[in-house]
Structure 1
Amino acid sequence: MLVVFFHLHVVDTFIQLPFFRRDEVLLNFFFVLSGFVLAHTYGMKPNLSFKSFFISRVFRLYPLHLVMLAVFILFETVRWIAYNKGFYLNNVPFTGLFAPKEILPNLFLVQAWTTLTETMSFNYPSWTISIEFYIYMLFGALCMFSMRNRFLLFAAISLTAFALIFSENEPLVERAMLGLSCFFAGNITYVVYLLIRDKFVPRPWLMTVLECAMMYATYWIVMNDFDYRSPVGSLTFCGLVLLFAFEGGLVSALLKTGVFVLLGKLSYSIYMTHAAFLFCLSTVFIVAQKVTGLELAPMIGGQRFMDTGSMLGNNLFVVAVAVFCVVIAGFAHKYVEMKGYELGKRVLGGSANAKTAADKQGALPAMEQRVDRVA
């Protein structure tokens, strides 16, 4: 939801507060958490089948990605028709971030890996999926090694990536280095968790204090500028994930209540669908501005904003947008995300007992369904 608020621009609203405008560093947390969850789900399997791992990842990520890519191509087509009829919205259709040459990189999820492609093209949040998809493939390949060697390789990749980031000698694009350093740091965080979980008895009061302290540390990192803020944040988030893995404090208890469980369940769909919804809203405000002559879609600092005309109305509008994002994600989860998941299970060898067969082939277990969606 913080990603939704970061991409939503409404005049005089709570989402214009500094925390909501500076929280891009929390993307590092997503990569760390993803690495932790994948290590839990697949990293300890002694005989992981790369084929089944590949299939489960493809059917986990691709169905919703392809649908949303098609939606944005449809948007551009409608804008192109309107443009040819003399109705101009922001920029010329099928140019810049929406140029036809960007379709193929998005189709193969390579748009965030090179300087030759536009990272934020079409469904711009999918850049993280671009990075993660190929990191997943690298992770799956490394899991073909022995248990000891695979985790040594995870550590080597993470440490090398962090060293290159700190030394400012990054051989890959910044986002790729970010993903590699954080994801494999999440893998190692899981190893640390395994080493200490049976030796550590969490006391509820102590865990609550530590959880609150770690959340404040996260807030401080978001709100302050300092050298190497991103990698320092990444290492802090490793501690955050490790701490909350014990689920021992009151904050953890809160995060297991209904609304947070629902948001966790829908988070991948929220993440992948919200940009299209915000695009539609922005278009409605631009058209309404042209029709009424009211300043409903002002440009502020080079960014298109939305404005209902009152501070209260704008804040209520933000809340309504958040609710509708969840509702839309619910439909996407049911009719796209889960359909893809079920299809993946059938491809993995579905039979009368499809669930058992998919589990044996490495399909996502219940924990990953709940947690991995944030990734």
Structure 2
Amino acid sequence: MQEVRRFHALDSLRGICAIAVVLYHTHLVGSVTEWAFFSNADLFVEFFFVLSGFVMAHAYGSKPQLDFNHFLVSRTFRLLPLHAVMLAVFVGLEFIKYAAYQHGFGFNQTPFTGIYAPSQILPNLLLLQSWTHLTENLSFNTPAWSISIEYWTYMVFAATMLTASVGRYLLWAVIALSGFALFYSQADVLTSYAQKGLGCFFAGTLAYVCFNHLRRRIAPGFALLSVLEALAAIAIWAVLTSQLQQKSLAASAVFCVTIVLFAFDGGALSRVLRYEFFARLGRWSYSIYLTHLAVLFFVISGFMVVQKKTGLEAAPMIGDIRYLDTGHVWSNNVMVLLILAVVVTVSCATYHYVELKGQGLGKQLLRRRMVPAG
């Protein structure tokens, strides 16, 4: 079978999962955001970890040795520029909240305290915040916890590449099983975020090994893959809306199977996912994931101002969650679409002006390194 260069369906699925995470963090009374599926869509972060492991194994796993300097630069300039920009944005938002606080307008939390304390800036900048019990794991830009785990998991992956192919596969299995075992037993080793991230990422590397084995021996047709893809989608819906106690572990297993199936890029759903709309969501997925809470901050703040000025329950607290309410279910659903539109528009901009620029800087650095001195 011809070597697979890019997994188009999986790229698009990454974008759809990022949108689902946006809906998980968005709360409008009576809207689609309150469906059980989206109320559990934080589990799609596991999908990102599994997919990252799968892609890393595809890109590097079969190489006899790894150019660590090239790997370090490419991975750093892939993740860090947008993360650093969004960290700066959230620090700036604390200054805005502080100014509002000085004028008698309070938010949910006193500015520069708790997860937004100045002491958390450096751990965030170094992407260490979610690895230790000494730091606030969900500080500043909350979704960045997974970027913290992913970045240093890349370094663990690079270390496994020092062994021969059979040895590295064994290491991947040991790390995956250890991560899941620690997470399941709630052991106080690393953080639960690190345990889950390591388990899912290296489960993804093993999923690639399985895929690579399968594609060299079978060539499933369109009809079979279409049925299997549909069953995978149903399984994801069933797990996310279930009452399973170990829902995270079940979702991780389903995501591994789903990624293997969609990696063949051969079924009906894979064909749909090739449409440019979904392809763009895939390209912008990292920006969607990291920018959406900043967009939601401004939306929520606007609703809170309306509530303060008019007395209408536009931003009620239900439990410990800040909800938004325009007064009608239909208009709340329209507001959901508007929020998604703004998030995607902002993400398009950050993709082009932050992500691509950052990757370009990394490539320039690598080119300079390759030019011999003379």
Give the TM-score taking structure 2 as reference length: 0.91
Is 1:52 matched with 2:52? Answer: no
Q: Which moved more, 1:169-178 or 1:281-290?
A: 169-178
Question: Once the two structures are superposed, what CA deviation does each residue of 1:227-286 show, in whole Å capped at 9, x if it has no partner?
Answer: 422222212211111111111210111111111101001000000100100011111111
Partner of 1:252: 270
Q: Which moved more, 1:158-167 or 1:260-269?
A: 158-167
Is 1:266 matched with 2:300? Answer: no
Partner of 1:137: 155
Is 1:123 matched with 2:154? Answer: no
Q: How much does 1:106 deviate?
A: 0.8
5 Å matches for 1:316-355?
316-350=334-368
Go from structure 1 to structure 2 and tell me whether the alpha carbon gap of 1:171 and 1:91 turns closer, same or farther (over 3 Å shift).
Answer: closer
- Supply the distance in 2 between the matched residues of 1:268 and 1:18 (Cα, whole angstroms): 24
Corresponding residue SS for 1:88: coil
5 Å matches for 1:164-243?
164-169=182-187, 171-243=189-261
Question: Once the two structures are superposed, what CA deviation does each residue of 1:42-67 show, in whole Å capped at 9, x if it has no partner?
Answer: 22222211111011111000000000
Partner of 2:9: none
Q: How much does 1:179 deviate?
A: 0.7
Equivalenced residues, count: 353
Partner of 2:83: 65
Corresponding residue SS for 2:334: helix
Go from structure 1 to structure 2 and tell me whether the alpha carbon gap of 1:206 and 1:341 turns closer, same or farther (over 3 Å shift).
Answer: same
Q: Do 1:50 and 1:144's aligned partners in 2 also have CA atoms closer than 8 Å?
A: no
- Supply the distance in 2 between the matched residues of 1:30 and 1:170 (Cα, whole angstroms): 24
Match of 1:111 among 100, 107, 129: 129
RMSD over aligned Cα atoms: 1.6
Q: Do 1:170 and 1:177's aligned partners in 2 also have CA atoms closer than 8 Å?
A: no
- Supply the distance in 1 between the matched residues of 2:210 and 2:247 (Cα, whole angstroms): 24
Question: Once the two structures are superposed, what CA deviation does each residue of 1:294-346 show, in whole Å capped at 9, x if it has no partner?
Answer: 22111111211111122221111100111111100000000000000000000
- Supply the distance in 2 between the matched residues of 1:229 and 1:16 (Cα, whole angstroms): 18
- Supply the distance in 1 between the matched residues of 2:182 and 2:90 (Cα, whole angstroms): 36
Q: Which moved more, 1:202-211 or 1:285-294?
A: 285-294
- Supply the distance in 2 between the matched residues of 1:161 and 1:92 (Cα, whole angstroms): 36
- Letter in structure 2 aligned against 1:41: A
Q: Which moved more, 1:167-176 or 1:40-49?
A: 167-176
Go from structure 1 to structure 2 and tell me whether the alpha carbon gap of 1:88 and 1:219 turns closer, same or farther (over 3 Å shift).
Answer: same
5 Å matches for 1:295-310?
295-310=313-328
Question: Once the two structures are superposed, what CA deviation does each residue of 1:106-146 show, in whole Å capped at 9, x if it has no partner?
Answer: 11111111122111111001000011011001111221222
Partner of 2:111: 93
Structure 1 vs Structure 2: percent identity of aligned residues? 45
Question: Once the two structures are superposed, what CA deviation does each residue of 1:131-190 show, in whole Å capped at 9, x if it has no partner?
Answer: 101100111122122222222211121122233344444522111111111101111111
Partner of 2:306: 288
- Letter in structure 1 aligned against 2:45: L
Q: How much does 1:31 deviate?
A: 0.8
Partner of 1:366: none
- Supply the distance in 2 between the matched residues of 1:157 and 1:59 (Cα, whole angstroms): 26
Partner of 1:365: none
- Supply the distance in 2 between the matched residues of 1:298 and 1:160 (Cα, whole angstroms): 42
Q: Which moved more, 1:341-350 or 1:262-271?
A: 341-350
- Supply the distance in 1 between the matched residues of 2:349 and 2:122 (Cα, whole angstroms): 27
Q: Do 1:154 and 1:188's aligned partners in 2 also have CA atoms closer than 8 Å?
A: yes
Q: Do 1:113 and 1:175's aligned partners in 2 also have CA atoms closer than 8 Å?
A: yes
- Supply the distance in 1 between the matched residues of 2:56 and 2:85 (Cα, whole angstroms): 25
Is 1:10 matched with 2:28? Answer: yes
Q: Do 2:21 and 2:44's aligned partners in 1 also have CA atoms closer than 8 Å?
A: no
Partner of 1:277: 295
Partner of 2:16: none
Corresponding residue SS for 1:171: coil
- Supply the distance in 1 between the matched residues of 2:268 and 2:317 (Cα, whole angstroms): 43
- Supply the distance in 1 between the matched residues of 2:139 and 2:185 (Cα, whole angstroms): 29
- Supply the distance in 2 between the matched residues of 1:227 and 1:18 (Cα, whole angstroms): 15
In structure 2, the gaps of 5 or more residues are 1-18
- Letter in structure 2 aligned against 1:146: A
- Supply the distance in 2 between the matched residues of 1:164 and 1:129 (Cα, whole angstroms): 20
Is 1:39 matched with 2:87? Answer: no
- Supply the distance in 1 between the matched residues of 2:181 and 2:325 (Cα, whole angstroms): 45
Give the TM-score taking structure 1 as reference length: 0.91
- Supply the distance in 2 between the matched residues of 1:169 and 1:86 (Cα, whole angstroms): 44
- Supply the distance in 2 between the matched residues of 1:9 and 1:312 (Cα, whole angstroms): 14
- Letter in structure 1 aligned against 2:109: N
Q: Do 2:307 and 2:313's aligned partners in 1 also have CA atoms closer than 8 Å?
A: yes
